[in-house]
Amino acid sequence: MKLYSLSVLYKGDPKVVLLKAAYDVSSFSFFQRSSVQEFMTFTSQLIVERSAKGSRASVKEQEYLCHVYVRNDSLAGVVVADNEYPSRVAFSLLEKVLDDFSKQVDRIDWPVGSPATIEYTGLDAHLSRYQNPREADPMTKVQAELDETKIILHNTMESLLERGEKLDDLVSKSEVLGIQSKAFYKTSRYTAFPERFSHSQMEYFTEQWALPRVPGPSTRVCFQARKQNSCCAIM
């Protein structure tokens, strides 16, 4: 699993301008390195040229996958990776980088910039950090952490369960709560921290407790419901 280059470009009309790039060609033999670097620059420029604004694409070239993201404001990023590198991580990297870049470099510099004139030093750091996708990407990082921390969570859940049980008693005892809200409450109990869990984790929990999936707005509602546990008034 490897990343070879990371570049930021500007999709001008008609020409595409390379603003900044970082490369990792250490896996190529000494005399191939400069050629490979040039080749990747070229490919990146070509791909951006052929991609529409506001699009994301992955282009396969021999043993390499080039992921490109062109924003609506014509700022584009290309990352060249091998076939094994997870594309989701690649795209999140691109988004992050472009975001970072647009904050640090003035918009007016984009159409006329070149690697020499643009002052942005974060690319090398990003490239080397993202060589290990698990380390770098928050989602996979959390995934990894969750894999390791399932036990911890379990404890928390258990402790939650105890509390929940009390809450349950309260909920079931309450006569004010409608049947629907009680059911709803049962659901929300186990999804107390929606923002931190990924969908798959939600699935895990919902499966575990045989609950329907409760994504999006309802989780906020559940949260509110929890806060208002005493006065379970759900509109």
**Using CB under 8 A as the criterion, which residues of the chain lie in contact with another protein when the complex forms?**
26-32, 34-36, 39, 62-63
Beta partners for residue 11, in sequence order: 16
DSSP-derived 3-state class of residue 176: coil
Sheet holding 16-23, edge to edge: 16-23, 3-11, 75-82, 64-70, 55-61
Shortest separation between residue 35's beta carbon and another protein, angstroms: 5
Instruction: Determine the Cα–Cα distance for residues 23 and 2; give it in Å rounded to an integer.
Output: 11
Comparing CB distances to another protein, the nearer of 24 and 100 is: 24
Instruction: Determine the Cα–Cα distance for residues 111 and 102; give it in Å rounded to an integer.
Output: 13
Shortest separation between residue 46's beta carbon and another protein, angstroms: 14
Shortest separation between residue 64's beta carbon and another protein, angstroms: 9
Comparing CB distances to another protein, the nearer of 28 and 204 is: 28
Shortest separation between residue 32's beta carbon and another protein, angstroms: 5
Alpha-carbon torsion, ordered 219, 223, 228, 234, to 10 deg: -10
Phi, psi of 226 (to 5 degrees): -65, -40
Residue partners of 6: CB distance under 8 A and separation at least 6? 21, 22, 77, 78, 79, 80, 93, 97, 123, 126, 127, 130
Shortest separation between residue 30's beta carbon and another protein, angstroms: 5
Comparing CB distances to another protein, the nearer of 25 and 142 is: 25
Shortest separation between residue 2's beta carbon and another protein, angstroms: 11
Comparing CB distances to another protein, the nearer of 82 and 99 is: 82
Beta partners for residue 56, in sequence order: 69
Comparing CB distances to another protein, the nearer of 39 and 91 is: 39
- Strand ranges (E), 75-216: 75-82
Shortest separation between residue 73's beta carbon and another protein, angstroms: 33
Pick from 115, 126, 6: which is nearest to 68 by CA? 6
Comparing CB distances to another protein, the nearer of 1 and 152 is: 1
Comparing CB distances to another protein, the nearer of 26 and 180 is: 26
